[in-house]
Structure 1
């Protein structure tokens, strides 16, 4: 019997993290930091829309009947900022790297949070919301790019699923803890205004601490070989031109719908429940926001559970088929909200669950399709356009949804985004046979220039 060959001291197998095969040059610590960043981003971006009704009532004295349009206009202003900056951030990510953009976004968001509860008028609150939006623009597109960079191509669906889990945990942290901070602090004896200001300062401090950790733990390397040598305007143009590919176009359409889904859950679902709690149940503003957080938590828990399942399904299906399935689920789920008349009643629970599943399905499926179809050297720019399309969806739903919320019924924004989802699903069916997977380039993260 021949002796066994000596053990290889250098294991050349690619590293794995939570069942994922990682891209070359990416460590488990990098992937762990990526998922921590995902949790922090969603918690940050969910907090402000969910707490806005409380701000309008306690700081500015708005009546319940006026808050729908006000929330809509605040979202419109924020999304206008995102529209103006998303593609630039994507191009900067190709040129300077993902990590600096993400960390800078957290810092600017923290500044906006500190300022927001000191607004004495709608105009000042709008200005501070714009400051927050400038930071949010640096966060929104980066996580999707980083997940695509860090996971091996065949595992991007599962990576997106785990990313969805962290999204759900972040949203739960926001609606179950962060949004409840004013109510908790009020019960310690603080006035509503003081409790709100302290709560915002605590959240801002937490964000800055997380930004410091991520600066140390995320990979500093670049993926694009050409980004540092190409003007930003050229990179932006390449991201737009990528939409000529049917698969990229479908991903852009899915982004329009999926980001609108997030706006619905973060803003109008919370507003609907809190308005009903105050008007029909006589709750205080802080308690109504806390009750709204519980309903949003149901949707986010469903998203948390469904994300890894749909991520695995996404890797087993063709990328475009997974997106089509997700869009159909999302459209049907949001249209089901038309059947609800009491958002605090038991009938809201299955609708919230369906909404959460539809939301995470779209988010999980669209990113891997874009990563498959977009050229690697301009992936950041393509994700910038992807985020631009998502912000366009939020802008349309916020503006039209706010008007319909006040002048028709609270479920109207859900019907609107559900219709968009089904329309995008039909578009996907029409182009699915024209989607040809792009071969992965040979450039890897380890070979890219290292500029912190």
Structure 2
């Protein structure tokens, strides 16, 4: 029994019951999860130009509508998926999510009108809710607490690498196909078919390699509604869980600005300069990849920092970096100019550090018996962040300026987050805990 308690995956100490195969499978799943979510945000402007021929001055509102509608579905489903994972296990929910994403990728290029594209996006968001919730939940389950920051950092590296390669490789497939004489619509269909195949492969890998069963003892005996209530009670009993949820709000709002409006701005600028739709999509990959690469290189360093300093302070630092990057992004005039490179680096650093900090604090503070439900609640906050950005960002993008989603959305979220962080930061420091733990009684969930 002692050997099972001391299992390691490289330098990472694994929680009891987890094997190196489980950890390796999870990192591969994280690589594909964020890669596919980044790619679908990146490819949507391409579909608006190639499949639907939406005018440039209306694309921001369409992208906002798609994002807002997606997150309404995710907001409704992410907490039930977390609770379901506590009841039947993480493995079937994660595999199901990838199969659903594959079906969504097959449907996307069939859309020829905005309502059809919206229907495809709503369908796709069911899979997003499943894989997004499991991405965070399995991460919280797998390591011992002394290795939590390191695993989160390595996971962030894999996520950044997945986003980079998905956009860099898949994002340029349409141009390569178009250069061989294929029309833009068919090039997009084949590209999305490749993405669907990757999702099906990952579903199989998750089914074979993730741990069977569930680490939650409560989940096997209580109905889903009780699990959700207990997750809310855990957050009410521990304000650091709310702090982590606020980090989720900010970091996922960032991801929409970077993945959707940044991509649309780059592609529209390139088309206005005389490039074809496929060439514009290819050109838009460069700043996006710069942001992703800078984030993945910083991820492991920030993960190590989280294991060696107060994690609440690190969360505040993450939001400060993100705030500076997004304000700078809104002030750049030509996003295809060299001036975008340092801004893209800041964008990548800010996004990855906020995500890593939120996942680490959640994994540290969430009680194991209701961890899936707590991460489901965090997913709701992430959805609210995306709703906030898409609700205002699309209108600002079309009506105010292409840089407005960077400045307006990020500014409100940033200052709101900083105001709340100050209260919890003082409480965390006064406990004298290196990692920002509350006293043991504060982390126990109260039953509703």
In the other structure, the counterpart of 1:200 is: 192
The question of whether the paired residues in 1 share the 8 Å contact of 2:14 and 2:144 is answered with yes
Counterparts of 2:201 and 2:330, CA distance in 1:
42
Q: Does 261-270 or 380-389 show the bigger shift?
A: 261-270
- Asked if 1:39 is matched to 2:31, the reply is yes
Q: Does 426-435 or 128-137 show the bigger shift?
A: 426-435
In the other structure, the counterpart of 2:243 is: 250
In the other structure, the counterpart of 2:84 is: 92
The question of whether the paired residues in 2 share the 8 Å contact of 1:374 and 1:438 is answered with no
Which structure 2 residue ranges, 5 or more long, are not aligned? 429-436, 442-448
The question of whether the paired residues in 2 share the 8 Å contact of 1:83 and 1:392 is answered with yes
**Aligned length, in residue pairs:** 431
Counterparts of 2:278 and 2:21, CA distance in 1:
39
Give the alignment partner of residue 300 of structure 1, picking from 292, 298, 310: 292
Q: Does 356-365 or 233-242 show the bigger shift?
A: 233-242
TM-score, structure 1 as length reference: 0.92
In the other structure, the counterpart of 1:446 is: none
CA shift for structure 1 position 431: 1.5
**Secondary structure of the structure 1 residue equivalent to 2:149:** helix
In the other structure, the counterpart of 1:444 is: none
The question of whether the paired residues in 1 share the 8 Å contact of 2:251 and 2:351 is answered with yes
In the other structure, the counterpart of 1:324 is: 316
Call closer, same or farther: CA 1:401–1:114 in 2, change over 3 Å: same
Q: Does 380-389 or 211-220 show the bigger shift?
A: 211-220
Counterparts of 1:352 and 1:12, CA distance in 2:
43
**Secondary structure of the structure 2 residue equivalent to 1:141:** helix
The question of whether the paired residues in 2 share the 8 Å contact of 1:86 and 1:385 is answered with yes
Give the alignment partner of residue 403 of structure 2, picking from 407, 411, 418: 411
In the other structure, the counterpart of 2:281 is: 289
Counterparts of 2:144 and 2:189, CA distance in 1:
44
CA shift for structure 1 position 335: 1.1
In the other structure, the counterpart of 1:121 is: 113
Map 1:33-432 to 2 at 5 A. 33-244=25-236, 245-279=238-272, 281-419=273-411, 420-432=413-425
CA shift for structure 1 position 427: 1.2
Which structure 1 residue ranges, 5 or more long, are not aligned? 1-9, 441-452
Counterparts of 1:227 and 1:434, CA distance in 2:
32
The question of whether the paired residues in 2 share the 8 Å contact of 1:175 and 1:294 is answered with no
The question of whether the paired residues in 2 share the 8 Å contact of 1:165 and 1:304 is answered with yes
In the other structure, the counterpart of 2:438 is: 437
CA shift for structure 1 position 305: 0.4
The question of whether the paired residues in 2 share the 8 Å contact of 1:338 and 1:415 is answered with yes
CA shift for structure 1 position 416: 2.8
In the other structure, the counterpart of 1:21 is: 13
After superposition, give the CA deviation of every residue in 1:26-46 in whole Å (9 maximum; x if it has no partner).
111111101000001011111
Counterparts of 2:311 and 2:66, CA distance in 1:
35
CA shift for structure 1 position 73: 0.5
The question of whether the paired residues in 1 share the 8 Å contact of 2:103 and 2:196 is answered with yes
Counterparts of 1:143 and 1:438, CA distance in 2:
28
Give the superposed CA RMSD: 1.6
Call closer, same or farther: CA 1:175–1:270 in 2, change over 3 Å: same
Q: Does 230-239 or 98-107 show the bigger shift?
A: 230-239
